[in-house]
Amino acid sequence: MVLAGRVLIPVRARDWGREWRLYPLGDIHLGASGCDEQLLDTTIAAIRDDPLALCIGMGDYVDLISMRDERRFDPEMISAQHRSAYFKAYGPQMRDAMIAKLRPIEGKVLGLLHGNHEWAYSNRFEQEIGRDIATALGTRFLGYSCFIDLVFQRRGGRPQQRFRIVAHHGAGYAQTKGGKLNRLERFMLDFEADIYLFGHVHARLDDEAVALGANRTCRKLVEHRKVGVVTGTYLRTYHARADGASGYGERKQYRPVPLGGPCVKIVPATRTLSIEKP
């Protein structure tokens, strides 16, 4: 786990009471024919055009299933747009394609997590694609999981608001909504934070919880509200193919899922947290 320290966000007085948006962006699987690049471009444009938007990468940016992976590899499921690059030098070529996609939001990315696709590729080919993308964008490489503090500092004044984020690429193969929410709930019980981000399971879900405590004199109840998000995907499980090609998700009979991901809305002035779905 990476302890990434603080990210300080200077806030103008007029923006102190406004909603900021934190977009967890991952499970993109660029290079797979099921990747919805148009939706991805729309999300990236929304982050780019919103002066109060921030982003954190959740891993699995590129599909990275090599020809040596007999269980999952299907050459027909590689996107026609990226097929030439994929077969010539698919890791570095697709890494560069992902960097180009994210370049418009350079400076808004708090950091990038490692996904299981990047992890497997780095183990086989000794090249850390996730770290390379983070370096190219001038942001933090966050490993497979991390704590990171998002600190809003009001300009011209002393108020600060800190929101602790714990993010994990995710694990497990639960297919039901209940199973995925149970994993998120356990994640929220096991770690102490304000915002919980969890990917991998290709779902768009959220949860919230309240923990009660007391102030220093133990004479007043203090409420700690926290929110958790299963961060979504841009990869279709099923899509029509006249040639009968099938991705590993279809062959495993995974469930179809809505695409895109939620974002966390943050109001520094009031410490308000809420979830916005696409």
The confidence band for 158, taking pLDDT boundaries of 50, 70 and 90, is: confident
Kindly report the pTM of this predicted structure.
0.91
DSSP letter, residue 59: S
**Residue 90 pLDDT:** 72
Task: Convert the pLDDT of each residue in 179-237 to its tens digit.
Answer: 999 999 999 999 999 999 999 999 999 999 998 999 999 999 998 899 999 999 999 98
Q: What is the CA radius of gyration of the chain?
A: 19
Q: Please compute the mean of the pLDDT values over residues 89-117 and round it to a whole number.
A: 90
DSSP character string of 134-196: HHHTT-EE--SEEEEEEEEEETTS--EEEEEEEEE-------SHHHHHHHHHHHHHHS--SEE
d(CA 128, CA 138): 15
| Residue 24 scores a pLDDT above 90 | yes
d(CA 62, CA 165): 24
The confidence band for 144, taking pLDDT boundaries of 50, 70 and 90, is: very high
Fold that domain 2-276 belongs to in CATH: Purple Acid Phosphatase; chain A, domain 2 (3.60.21)
Residue ranges covered by each domain of the chain: 2-276
DSSP character string of 90-108: HHHHHHHHHHHHHGGGTTS
Two tokens, residue 214: 């007391």
| Residue 242 scores a pLDDT above 70 | no
What residues contact residue 212 under an 8 Å CB cut-off, 6+ apart?
A: 221, 222, 223, 224
What is the Cβ-side half-sphere exposure of residue 98, based on CA atoms within 13 angstroms? 34
Task: Convert the pLDDT of each residue in 27-83 to its tens digit.
Answer: 999 988 889 999 999 999 999 999 999 999 999 999 876 655 555 555 556 665 655
d(CA 100, CA 2): 26
C-alpha torsion angle, residues 246, 251, 257, 261 (rounded to 10): -80
For Cα atoms 64, 68, 73, give the angle at the middle one, nearest 5 degrees: 60
- Phi-psi map region of 29: left, alpha, beta (phi>0 left; psi -120 to 50 alpha): left
